Amino acid sequence: MKYQLHIIKRALALVVIISTTISCSELLDLTPPMTQVTENFYLTETDAFQSLTSAYNVLTWSAPSIAGGSPQNCAFEIISEILGDCCYGGGANANDIPSTVRISQFSILVTDPAPEALWRKYYTGIYRCNQFLIKIPDIPFENEELRNRYIAEAHFLRAYYYFDLVRLFENVPLILTPLTPADYAQVQVSPITVYEQIAKDLLYAIETSDESGIPVLPKNATMIPATDKGRVSLAAAQALLARVWLFYTGYYGETEMPLVSQSKILGIIRDAVNSGHALLPDAYAKNNGVAQLFDVTNKNSTEGVFEIQYSALSKWGDWSNRQGCMGNQAVILWGIRDVGAPYAAGWSFAPVNKKLFDAFRTDDPRRWATIINAEKSTIAGDDGEGLTYTKGYQNTGYFCRKHTPLTRNNAGAGSRELNYPNNYQCIRFADVLLMAAELELLYGEKNMAFEHYRNVRERALGTGNAGTVTDLTINKIYEERLYELALEGHRYWDILRQGQAIAAQILTNGEQGEYAVTFNTVRKGLLPIPQYEIIQSKASLKQNPGY
């Protein structure tokens, strides 16, 4: 079977077919979602592809809705950066979305909408994966390798959703089949149980092969046809497992992850490094307001291991259903208020902390590629642009450039705010190399660790800027992750996996007034279990400590 349609192009039509009903509690209010289509769906390979596409579709929800239907500005990468030390909450003023500021200050309420919307998003994705995995064995396929590839992709997606869910909330129900009315009152399981399931799902995706022993997933994303960009590759599954492994062992102080030993993860990350991906040359060259690496014309480049696909094709304009659009709504959140070309006006959420700007060397091109210095500067090399704009809440004068809205990316139809085509590069090859450097330094070959670190650092700064093998430390790799991956949704999790004491030291900023942040060690960096979910579960769900 040829893959005829791009995943995101199919998603809108699929929502009509596949229910958006989801979390263990949301089902209490609705008819079980598949009763009206069981007899006339899941009958063909096309049905299977549509069902799988609906599971992918949840990845694109940059404004998921709460149970009452209201969409929330809580794209995962935005929330991750607001939780970290590189951004504040921001917005138009203190009363714009105060719950966003509470997230940045670790003063979140159990009734705040963002945790509820994220909980609902991830359990929607998990529900769709479960439904697909239950149904696909009974669907006739002409090509069994195609069936096995679909199944491997669904296991990856379920692992992806559970990983975001467990690191946001930790204490969550593990649901592996579509719920029935008798199953609504779910209980939480231990985090280790969830991580074990994540490992099972990712190992399934990595290790499933055809009769000749060739993996059913394509080796890398560059091998996936243009019409199918955004689907899972073997390298993506390997890289995600490495990310999960590093977070689990760091956050919980363990030496191994369930089902995945040190030697096994070392072999897996080596395969990912040798998958055929490569760093994008001239990645940090300037191109009309943005660096080449983050230009929409370079989506799905050789560096893109796994990118969530966005486009303006839907010409979306339905503000009451922002969950249904195909554009990346995180982009408008990052934007500067009332600014002029080449930038497009945005909503000034997640203003950047000046300390991130100051952390870069002045000759590091990644500083400009990462941050817009909106103010006019008299200091040579400070990239001050002297922009005319409206200052929002917690304004610092520094804004994210990697994902900023640009006038040349404005949609020709529909609401421009809902139609930005910027992909979210949730796994790119530079990250893979730095994860490999860390794992090699800890458990493998130090020379190999240095080579991976050197490739990333010297792409930006030039030959000779990586030092020597003997200079390489874990702290240097963490620093390089900050310079290379800042504002891409990884920094907060890198901090947490260094332990609670270090998290408190870094995230408690010692600032005053509206900029002050104090990390709450009792809450361990977690979001609250949404109060709505606890009520709907009839208290089978228990609140996280500290809330």
What is the band of 57 on the pLDDT scale with cuts at 50, 70, 90? very high
Domain count across the chain: 3
Task: Spell 492-501 as b/e; 16+ CB within 10 A means b.
Answer: bbbbbbbeee
State the residue for tokens 């800890």.
442
What is the band of 40 on the pLDDT scale with cuts at 50, 70, 90? confident
State the residue for tokens 């642009």.
385
3-state SS string over 358-421? HHCCCCCHHHHHHEEECCCCCCCCCCCCCCCCCCCCCCCCEEECCCCCEHHHCCCCCCHHHCCC
Query: Do residues 169 and 230 both lie within one domain?
Result: yes
pLDDT tens digit sequence for 514-525 = 999 999 999 999
At 496 the three-state DSSP class reads helix
Residue 318 in any domain: the answer is no
d(CA 474, CA 461): 20
Q: Domain boundary at 406, 436, 460, which?
A: 406
Q: What percent of the chain has pLDDT over 90?
A: 90
pLDDT at 7 over 50: no
> Among residues 120, 422, 153, which one has the least CA distance to residue 300?
422
Query: Do residues 22 and 126 both lie within one domain?
Result: yes
Asked whether the beta carbons of 437 and 344 are under 8 A apart, the reply is no
Contacts of 392 (CB under 8 A, 6+ apart): 90, 91, 92, 93, 96, 337, 347, 348, 351
Helices (runs of H) and strands (runs of E) counted in the chain: 18, 6
Mean pLDDT of the 237-260 span: 98
Is the preceding peptide bond at 342 cis, omega within 30 degrees of 0? yes
> Among residues 313, 320, 372, which one has the least CA distance to residue 348?
372
pLDDT at 16 over 80: no
pLDDT at 282: 95
pLDDT at 43 over 80: yes
What is the band of 481 on the pLDDT scale with cuts at 50, 70, 90? very high
pLDDT at 397: 98
Mean pLDDT of the 335-340 span: 98
Query: Do residues 290 and 246 both lie within one domain?
Result: no
Query: Do residues 379 and 454 both lie within one domain?
Result: no
pLDDT at 165: 98
Residue scoring higher pLDDT (4 or 425): 425
Q: Can you read off the two tokens belonging to residue 503?
A: 């998290």
What is the helix (H) or strand (E) element at residue 167, kind and residue range? helix 144-169
Residue 142 in any domain: the answer is yes
What is the band of 3 on the pLDDT scale with cuts at 50, 70, 90? very low
pLDDT at 32 over 60: no
Query: Do residues 331 and 464 both lie within one domain?
Result: no
Asked whether the beta carbons of 417 and 332 are under 8 A apart, the reply is yes
What is the band of 394 on the pLDDT scale with cuts at 50, 70, 90? very high
Asked whether the beta carbons of 136 and 182 are under 8 A apart, the reply is no
Q: What percent of the chain has pLDDT over 70?
A: 92
Residue 130 in any domain: the answer is yes
pLDDT at 12 over 80: no
| Partner residues linked to 342 by β-bridges | none
- Indicate which CATH number applies to the domain containing 151: 1.25.40.390
Query: Do residues 49 and 162 both lie within one domain?
Result: yes
At CA 417, angle to CA 222 and CA 75, rounded to 5? 60
What is the band of 182 on the pLDDT scale with cuts at 50, 70, 90? low
Mean pLDDT of the 496-505 span: 98
- Indicate which CATH number applies to the domain containing 478: 1.25.40.900
Query: Do residues 262 and 347 both lie within one domain?
Result: no
pLDDT at 432: 99
Residue 411 in any domain: the answer is no
Mean pLDDT of the 298-324 span: 96
Would the pTM of this model clear 0.85, i.e. be above it?
Answer: yes
pLDDT at 406 over 50: yes
Query: Do residues 264 and 291 both lie within one domain?
Result: no
Mean pLDDT of the 411-440 span: 97
Query: Do residues 335 and 452 both lie within one domain?
Result: no
Distance of CA 41 to CAs 5, 46, 47, 131, 431, Å?
A: 19, 10, 6, 12, 40
Q: Could you tell me the sign of the dihedral formed by the alpha carbons of 524, 527, 532, 533, in that order?
A: negative
pLDDT at 141 over 60: yes
Q: Which structural domain, as residue segments, surrounds residue 471? A: 428-498
pLDDT tens digit sequence for 61-85 = 999 999 999 999 999 999 999 999 9
Distance of CA 233 to CAs 219, 245, 269, 440, Å?
A: 6, 19, 14, 23
Q: Domain boundary at 406, 440, 460, which?
A: 406
Query: Do residues 184 and 151 both lie within one domain?
Result: yes
Residue 313 in any domain: the answer is no
Residue 16 in any domain: the answer is yes
Residue 309 in any domain: the answer is no
Residue 516 in any domain: the answer is no
pLDDT at 471: 95
What one-letter code names the amino acid at 514? E
Query: Do residues 271 and 335 both lie within one domain?
Result: no
Number of C-beta neighbours around residue 415 at 10 A: 16
What is the band of 37 on the pLDDT scale with cuts at 50, 70, 90? low
What is the band of 38 on the pLDDT scale with cuts at 50, 70, 90? low
pLDDT at 412: 87
Asked whether the beta carbons of 120 and 420 are under 8 A apart, the reply is no
d(CA 135, CA 33): 14
pLDDT at 181: 63
Query: Do residues 380 and 463 both lie within one domain?
Result: no
Work out the angle between the directed axes of helices 234-251 and 144-169 (0-180°, nearest 10): 30
pLDDT at 29: 42
